[in-house]
Amino acid sequence: YIMISFCSASRIAPLTGVLKRSFSVAALSRPNSLVTESSSHRYHGAQCSSTQQQQQQQQHQVRYQSNETTSPSSKLYMWGTDSSSQTSTNIIKSAHTQEQKVFDVPLAVDPLPFSTSPIQSVVCGANDTAFVLENGECWVCGENKNGQLGVGYKSPVSEPTLLELPGSDDDNVGIAQVSLGPQFAAVVDTNGDLYTAGYGGSAMRGMGWLGHGNDESHLEFQKVESLVEDGCAVQQVEVSEWHMTVLTTEGEVLTTGMGSYGRLGNVQSIDRLYLDSVEVLTSRSQVTSISGGKSFTLALTKDGVLYSWGRNHKGQLGTGLGLSVDIYAMQDYPEPLEADELLGRRVVQMSAGHSHAACVTDSGELFHWGMSLHFDPVRVNELVHTKIVQVQCGENYTLAMDDKGDMYSFGVATTGLAGGNSGVLGQGSKQSRLNQATLMEAFPASLKVQQATAGWKHAACLVEDTTGRA
C-alpha cells in the first residue's frame, strides 16, 4: 500500500449548531412509518418492513455475488507516493526496492500478500488501501492515523491485515464495498448493513461523521444501528473528509456529519448526528450511484442526470461561476449539472476527486471540471475518438479507461512545497503535470485494465493478462 500525510484545513464557516434527529409531519403521515413517540431516531423516508428488508438483503447479496468483473488471471498494479518513514509500501517493496519512496510507473504486486481468493476490487483512499476479495474477505493497510481501518489501534498498518466486523461469524456474510476517508472509513456487508470506524468528529470539525448519534471515535467498525432499526439496507457508501453519504437499496440518499458549506445537501448548515435524507433527491429521483469528494458530493440518476452539492471554491460542482467562486462558494442542495456541453448527453459513470470531478457519457465521451481550471464540464477532446468506459479522480489527477483496456492519465502530480513528483500519473519521473490525457505505456500490450482506483497520492488497478488469446 502507499501512504501520504494529511493536514486538514481549518474550519472557516462557524458551527451554527448540532441538529439531532427529530420527527417530521411527512414521516408520521406515511402508512408504513415505524416512527413512534418513544423512538430516538429521525425517520428519513427509507424505512422498510421486515419482509422488505429481507428481500432487499437477498437482492443485495445476489448483486454482490454476480458483480465479479475481474478474472482469475487478474494482476494487481500500484503506483504513487509513500511519504511515511514508519510504514512503507511493503506490498510493492517486497517485489522491488525497500528504499524507494515514489513509484512513478505502475509496478506489479506479485506475489499477492493474500491468496485465499481473487481480488474483487481495490480501494485507494486518502492515506489507506483496501482489497475486497471475491470470497467476501477484506484486507486493509495504511496510515490508520485515527483508527479508521478498524483493526483496534491507531498506529500504521504496515502489512495487509484481514478486517473482521463485529458479529461476523456468519460465513455467508462478506464485505461488499469499502470507502476510505482521511480520518474515518465505512464498509457495507453483503446484507446491506453499514459499519463505520475512525474519528467521530468534534465541535470545530463537525460531529456525527460515523452516524452513531454522537462524536465518539471507534477503533473497530461498529454497525450503524439506526439504519437497522429503520429497516434500511445500504447499496453504497461514500466517505469524505468530514461527512458521509449513503445510497440505500431503495434509491434514497442520506447524509451525516459536518453541515457547513452545504456538505449535507439539505439547505441547512447544521451538523447531523444521524444519517438523514437529502430531501431533494427522493426515491423518485432514482439515484443509482454516488461519489464523494473532499467536501462535495455527486449523485447520478437512472436517467443519466448528474447532481452535485457542497463546497465549490474550485468549481468542483460543475455548476458554473454563479455569483462568485471563492473560498466561501458552495451549493447547499443538489443541483443538476446543466452545462451546454452536457445537453442531450446521458451520463453513465462519474467520479469525485479531492477538488475536481469527471464523468463519462453513454457514447464514451469524457468530461471534467474543477481544480480552479474549469467551472463547467469540459470535454476531453484528445479522447474524442476513444470510447471511455470508466473514470477515477484523485487529488488533482484523473485516470480514464477505454473499452480496449488501455488507461490514460492527466492532471498534476506535484507534492509538497518543493513540488516533487508524487508519481500518480504513472508516466515516469519526468512527467509531473499533464494538461492532456496521455496513454500510460507502462503496461505490456497483453495486459488490459479492468478497473482502477485513484487515491490522493497513490493509485492501483486490476489488469487481465490476455496472452494466448486469439
- pLDDT tens-digit profile of 217-261? 999 999 999 999 999 999 999 999 999 999 999 999 999 999 999
Cβ neighbors of 172 (< 8 A, separation 6 or more) are 190
Q: How far is CA 22 from CA 27, 41, 245, in A?
A: 10, 7, 19
Q: What is the C-alpha to C-alpha distance for residues 250 and 26, in angstroms, rounded to an integer?
A: 18
The enclosing H or E element of 66 equals helix 50-66
Q: What is the C-alpha to C-alpha distance for residues 364 and 352, in angstroms, rounded to an integer?
A: 18
Contact 233/48 with Cβ under 8 angstroms? yes
- Give the three cell numbers for residue 76: 494487481
Count of other CB atoms within 10 angstroms of residue 304: 15
The enclosing H or E element of 228 equals helix 225-229
Q: Which of 418, 320, 399 is nearest to 353 (CA)?
A: 399
CA atoms within a 13 Å half-sphere pointing along the CA-CB vector of 284: 2
- Give the three cell numbers for residue 152: 483496534
Confidence of residue 417 (pLDDT cuts 50, 70, 90): very low
Q: Which residue has the cell 505502475?
A: 106
- Give the three cell numbers for residue 372: 480552479
Q: How far is CA 26 from CA 23, 31, 32, 132, in A?
A: 9, 10, 12, 39
- Report strand pairing: 194-198 vs 218-223: antiparallel
- Give the three cell numbers for residue 48: 422498510
Residue 419 has pLDDT above 80, yes or no: no
pLDDT of residue 170: 73
Residue 146 has pLDDT above 50, yes or no: yes
Residue bearing the bigger pLDDT, 430 or 391: 391
Contact 174/185 with Cβ under 8 angstroms? no
Cβ neighbors of 349 (< 8 A, separation 6 or more) are 289, 300, 359, 360, 389, 390, 391
pLDDT of residue 97: 56
Confidence of residue 205 (pLDDT cuts 50, 70, 90): confident
pLDDT of residue 22: 32
Q: Which of 75, 31, 104, 90 is nearest to 424 (CA)?
A: 104
Contact 297/245 with Cβ under 8 angstroms? yes
Burial class (CB in 10 A: 0-12, 13-18, 19+), 305: middle
Cβ neighbors of 41 (< 8 A, separation 6 or more) are 21, 213, 226, 229, 230, 274
Q: Which residue has the cell 494487481?
A: 76
236 forms beta bridges with 247
Residue 441 has pLDDT above 50, yes or no: yes
pLDDT of residue 7: 30
pLDDT (tens digit per residue) in 5-40: 323 332 223 333 343 333 222 222 222 322 222 333
Comparing 23-32, 134-143, 192-201, 397-406, the range with the smallest average pLDDT is 23-32
Q: Is the alpha carbon torsion for 431, 352, 316, 343 positive or negative?
A: positive
Residue 154 has pLDDT above 60, yes or no: yes
| Burial letters 9-30, b for 16+ CB under 10 A, else e | eebeeebeebbebeebeebeee
Q: Which residue has the cell 476517508?
A: 181
- Give the three cell numbers for residue 100: 524507494
Residue 211 has pLDDT above 80, yes or no: yes
The enclosing H or E element of 51 equals helix 50-66
Contact 302/286 with Cβ under 8 angstroms? yes
Average pLDDT of the chain?
A: 82
5 forms beta bridges with none
